[in-house]
Amino acid sequence: MPRISTRTTEEFRISDPRTNERIRVPEVRLVGPNGEQVGVVAIQVAQRLAQEADLDLVEVAPNSKPPVVKIMDYGKYKYEAAQKAKEARRNQANTILKEVRFRLKIEGHDYETKRKRAEGFLQGGDKVKAMILFRGREQSRPELGVRLLKRFAEDVAEFGAVESSPRIDGRNMVMVIAPHKNKSEVKTEQNAQRAANKQAARQAKTSTSPESSTADAE
């Protein structure tokens, strides 16, 4: 008999893939627990192989002809998927929208200062909201605002990409730029760099130690 789930039918969500005895098709394309392609087999054979491995049979591509199923630990799969979703939500929540404000007739050095500040935000994994503050009759020349924001997007393209194009927001014009790397990726790279620096420092210390010098002399 195939492995029987302890959950009742009512507990299955519509988004859940079919598993074990809930897969009711005559034949399936089977993928083994290590990703090996077994081929097209009768559903009874696939269920028996899953049972013998003390694992679950999970339908991973229901719309294929025949459906594709895989032998796996479904509980572990669900847990890992939930952890990834949780991490993605945390990364999204940790992303802060930083604001950089421009005047339409901004001076060159002021522009460079704000550009560098925006690049720092993007490198840190935060989004940047670029805002142009229109004064008086400047509101009648929105194309100038679009031109300035597009120039700004091109100047910081190494660190982020436009998420929302320039648009009018009251008396202002705004554009949002998202970083190429989220906070989690930035933190991982920073930790790796710190570890590499520590390793390099230890190696340098070892190569300049008295014991090392004595050994080289011999």
- pLDDT single digits (tens) 26-50: 999 999 999 999 999 999 999 999 9
pLDDT value at 178 more than 80 = yes
Beta strands (DSSP E) in 1-149 are: 27-31, 37-42, 56-61, 68-72, 97-103, 127-133
The reported pLDDT for the residue numbered 15 is 61
> Domain locations in the chain?
9-75, 94-179
Mean pLDDT of all residues in 165-172: 90
The reported pLDDT for the residue numbered 95 is 63
Q: What is the pLDDT of residues 57-66, one digit of tens each?
A: 999 999 899 9
The reported pLDDT for the residue numbered 209 is 60
Mean pLDDT of all residues in 134-152: 91
Q: What is the pLDDT of residues 191-201, one digit of tens each?
A: 777 878 887 77
| 160-169 and 37-42 beta bridge pairing | unpaired
Count Cα atoms within 13 angstroms, Cβ side, for 67. Answer: 20
Mean pLDDT of all residues in 176-201: 79
* % pLDDT > 90, the chain: 56
**Superfamily classification of domain 9-75:** Translation initiation factor 3 (IF-3), N-terminal domain (3.10.20.80)
The reported pLDDT for the residue numbered 51 is 94
pLDDT value at 214 more than 60 = no
Comparing 198 with 92, the larger pLDDT belongs to 198
Helix 142-155 crosses helix 108-123 at what angle (to 10 degrees)? 50
Confidence of residue 17 (pLDDT cuts 50, 70, 90): confident
Planar angle of CA 140, 104, 134, nearest 5 degrees:
50
pLDDT value at 9 more than 60 = no
The reported pLDDT for the residue numbered 43 is 95
- CATH topology for 94-179 is Translation Initiation Factor IF3 (3.30.110)
pLDDT value at 91 more than 70 = no
Dist CA 182 CA 37 (whole Å): 35
The reported pLDDT for the residue numbered 14 is 47
Mean pLDDT of all residues in 169-197: 82
